[in-house]
Amino acid sequence: MIDIIDECGLDLEKIGYQKCKDGKYSLSSGKLEVDSQEKIKQTGFDKGSYYIYNCPLLHEFGEECFEYLAIEIGKGLKKLLNKHKLGKKSRILLVGLGNPNILADALGPMVLKEVELDPFKKNLRLFKFAPNVFSATGINSFDVVHMLAIWLDVDGVVIIDSLATNSISRLSTSFQINDAGMTPGSAVNNLGNKLCKASIGVPCLSIGVPTLLLAGKVKPDWPEGLILAPKDIHKNLNNVAKIIAIAINQYV
């Protein structure tokens, strides 16, 4: 399963990938609209807008870099919110997918801990929930998110989760946001029902960062299903979680 659209094996510029101007701190970014059946077939990705941010030297810089990257990611997130007419009065459910007990899969819950929320505020419009994984709860993430979206009568859902990558250099240094939704467990091929507008009933935006590397992509004869993560993943994930939380706090 390929999680990041620019790893699908195509020359994306031939089907409309737009490179944005390179930014500070080695940041490069781009956008692709998957807006036809032909593009869906070519890429293997569902219809939607995809924004990619690559910052290979991210963890070598400090707070200024994190703030800069958060603003750039936030701008892309804001464009998707505007596309679906989700504003500062919209009711949004923030969903942190993943297993909080496995560090490489804990990005979603880690981000939610950093997101500011005042549960006692009158007319509360932001809600956050980390459903954990089926093996820990016996409940599919899709089912509980679907239920909460209906019960809370939200206008949109923003999903945060770990992704898998084919490249060691992209671990915890790339970000992908889209409005095509996300499938829980896709990074480890443990596929559930997709969280998307068609299945949940409201726009579902997703924010993903590759934190997992399938061993078979490094060495084909290694056991199937073996997942690799960098030794400094704890520090890197803390940085990434902070960046995403800043973007959400400022733009959602």
Q: Are 164 and 214 in contact (CB under 8 A)?
A: yes
Number of domains in the chain: 1
Whole-number Å distance between alpha carbons of 11 and 14: 6
Angular region, 58: left φ>0, alpha ψ -120 to 50, beta rest: alpha
What's the Cα-to-Cα distance from 39 to each of 2, 33, 150, rounded to whole Å?
15, 9, 32
Residue 71 in tokens = 């603003």
Q: What is the CATH number of the domain that holds 56?
A: 3.40.50.1450
Which range of residues forms the domain containing residue 22? 5-251
Name the residue among 61, 66, 59, 68 with its Cα closest to residue 22: 68
Q: How far is CA 237 from the centre of its chain?
A: 13
Q: What is the pLDDT of residues 36-88, one digit of tens each?
A: 999 999 999 999 999 999 999 999 988 899 999 999 999 999 999 999 999 99
- The reported pLDDT for the residue numbered 190 is 57
Whole-number Å distance between alpha carbons of 234 and 227: 16
State how beta strands 126-129 and 156-165 pair: unpaired
- Helices and strands, number each (H, E), in the chain: 7, 9
pTM: 0.94
Band of the pLDDT at 112, cuts 50, 70, 90?
Answer: very high
Cβ-based neighbour number of residue 160 at 10 Å: 29
Q: Between 20 and 151, where is the model more confident?
A: 151
**At a CB cut-off of 8 Å and minimum separation 6, what does 243 contact?**
66, 69, 70, 73, 175
Residue 182 in tokens = 């996300």
Whole-number Å distance between alpha carbons of 4 and 129: 24
Q: How far is CA 102 from the centre of its chain?
A: 17
Average pLDDT, rounded, for the chain: 91
Residue 50 in tokens = 């995809």
Q: What is the pLDDT of residues 49-61, one digit of tens each?
A: 999 999 999 999 8
